[in-house]
Chain A
Amino acid sequence: MTVKELADKFSFTVCSMPDPDRKIGGVYIGDLLSWVMGRADCDDAWITIMSNINVAAVATLADVSCVILAENVAPDEELKKAATEKNINLFTSPHSAYETAVKLYGELK
């Protein structure tokens, strides 16, 4: 599944989508940035409630396919800007991290 298909299917709000055809390989949930950076796999969709600028650096370094901010958490302006500049797909989901992950599981299994 591509990130665009995901965003369309579940009506996620698109904050930035510079790479719509990027394939989603798995899912990782976490808010501690070092933990995420150490454990998330390349191509994972990363679900978090962290919304500051450092999310952009972690997303780039861990090379995730997209970042999904759960429970309609709004990204900081700096994060929004960095996502566009650094080629990061960034969405918000109205659902909890758990519910968002369950939806993704249904698509990826």
Chain B
Amino acid sequence: MSDKLTFNFDVDGEDFTSAGQASVQIKRNLRQLGIDSDTIRRVSIAMYEGEINMVIHAGGGTAQVNVCENCIEIVLKDEGPGIKDIDLAMQEGYSTAPDNIRSLGFGAGMGLPNMKRNTDEMKIESEIGVGTTVTMRVNYGG
């Protein structure tokens, strides 16, 4: 696989209950490509957390997954309100999610830390009032 393979998804911000569709789909795609199960788990967990974040905070966004020879890159892009303090948002347990989200089992302040834990590289670019782009990379088959 010398060429990179790209999958694109729209993450619907209105429909909280369907959040996770893109990550479940990418799990299936990666399995078909014969990627090892640990890598698939890391990619799909990181992506699901990102999807949930976009639904809770940004009214949706887009997800792009690039499968390269030695790594999988995930780019999550939204036009939401932006993250005020990225260092604070990275702390486990810190959350700005509203109560109705907490009652669904989310908003525990674990999303971004989980994304970082499951990936080899993670970069957050965020501008208040403009949006956020999270780029993650999972290395595999090294």
B108 touching A37, Cβ below 8 Å? no
Known: A42-B41, A78-B17. A57 touches B23 (CB 8 A): yes
Closest to B17 in A: A53
Q: Which 4 A-B pairs have CB atoms at the shortest separation, nearest pair first?
A: A57-B20, A34-B110, A33-B105, A32-B108
Give residues in A with beta carbon < 8 Å to B.
31-35, 37-38, 42, 50, 52-58, 60-63, 78, 86
B27 touching A61, Cβ below 8 Å? yes
Q: Is the interface of A mostly helix, strand, loop or mixed?
A: helix
Q: Is the interface of B mostly helix, strand, loop or mixed?
A: helix
A31 touching B105, Cβ below 8 Å? yes
A34 touching B114, Cβ below 8 Å? yes
Known: A57-B19, A61-B27, A78-B17. A35 touches B45 (CB 8 A): no
Which chain B positions have C-beta within 8 A of A78?
17
Q: Kindly provide the distance from the CB of B70 to the nearest chain A CB, expressed in whole angstroms.
A: 23
Which chain A positions have C-beta within 8 A of B48?
37, 57-58, 61
